[in-house]
Amino acid sequence: MPGGGWPTASLIEVLIGDNGLGEVQLFLPALAARQQAPSGEVPWLVWIAPPHEPYAPALAQQGIDLRRFLVVRPVSATEALWAAEQALNSGVCAAVFLWLKGTDDRWLRRLKLAAEASGALGVLFRPESHRFESSPANLRLLMTRGEHAVHLELLKVRGGRPGFVDLGPG
């Protein structure tokens, strides 16, 4: 990334062809580092509408402090977006992850503003089919499976140029 590492105070959109490309793994080391920063309080991580159960042993293995980890299961996309905005605005979260299928430009803009105002990292996971829509996200990534490696494409990036990265077979 331009500047190195993940930007905070922004909304990142990750478009994925399929679950299981390592899309969460991309962020876990940064999340663990944020929680383990020696600055007093451990910030919260909030995952909203994940596609399966987040598996506690896997997260603990990677250094996530589960005492500050929250799963939210809303029944509708609107409630999921509302919950994400609440979490971003609360000021106690290091990161808010949201899994979403639909499109709602007005809501996404609100999430981006909330992330920028609170300094938290907002990550939105959506299916690849949304790639040709415009999005208010500060950073857009497309993850697909190539011949031998997972393929990461930067569709939109602030202070840098769109490009490709191959993440190797893992």
Partner 1 sequence: MVRAKQSRTADLFAQEAPPPVPPPPVQAPPVPAPPRLRSLWYAAVFPGMHEVPEPEALSHLQRLARHAQRFTSLVSLEPPAALLLEIRGSLRLFGPPAALHARIDAGWEALGVRAQSAAAPSPLAALWLARAGERTLIEDAATLAGRLAGLPLACMAWDPKRLALLRALGVRRVGELLRLPRAGLARRLGPAALLEIDAALGRAPSPRRAFVACERLRERCDFEIEIVEVGALERALEPLIERCVSHLRARQAGVQALELRLRHRALPSTRLHLGFAGVTGDRRRLWGVFTERLSRLALVAPVRAAALLSGPLQILSGGCDEAAPLIERLRARLGESAVYGIRRIAEHRPEAAWRRVQELPGRFAAAAAADTVPADGDRVPRPVWLLREPLCLAADGTGTSPRDGWRLEQGPERIESGWWDGMGIARDYYVARHAEGARLWVFQERRSKHWYLHGVFA
Residues near partner 1 (CB under 8 A) are 17-25, 28, 41, 44, 50-61, 65-75, 79, 82-83, 86-87, 90-93, 144-146, 150, 170
H or E segment to which residue 114 belongs:
helix 105-118
Report the C-alpha gap between 11 and 112 in whole angstroms.
Answer: 5
Determine contact, residues 156/140, Cβ cutoff 8 Å. yes
Least separation in angstroms between residue 19's CB and partner 1 is 5
First to last CA, the chain: 19
Q: Please tell me the total number of residues recorded for the chain in this structure.
A: 170
Output 141 or 150, the one with its CB closest to partner 1.
Answer: 150
d(CA 119, CA 92): 10
Alpha carbon 40 to its chain's center: 24
The residue among 69 and 107 lying less far from partner 1, judged by its C-beta, is 69
Give the residue with the Cβ less far from partner 1, 86 or 136. 86
What's the closest the beta carbon of residue 57 comes to partner 1, in angstroms?
5
Q: How far is the CB of 65 from partner 1 (least distance, A)?
A: 7
In angstroms, give the least distance from the CB of 14 to partner 1. 11
Q: How far is the CB of 144 from partner 1 (least distance, A)?
A: 7
Q: Which of 44/107 has CB closer to partner 1?
A: 44
Buried b (16+ CB within 10 A) or exposed e, 43-59: bbbbbbbbeeebeeeeb
Our CB check for partner 1 shows the closer of 35 and 138 to be 35
Neighbours of 167 (CB within 10 A): 15
| Backbone dihedral angles phi then psi of residue 81, each to the nearest 5 degrees | -65, -40
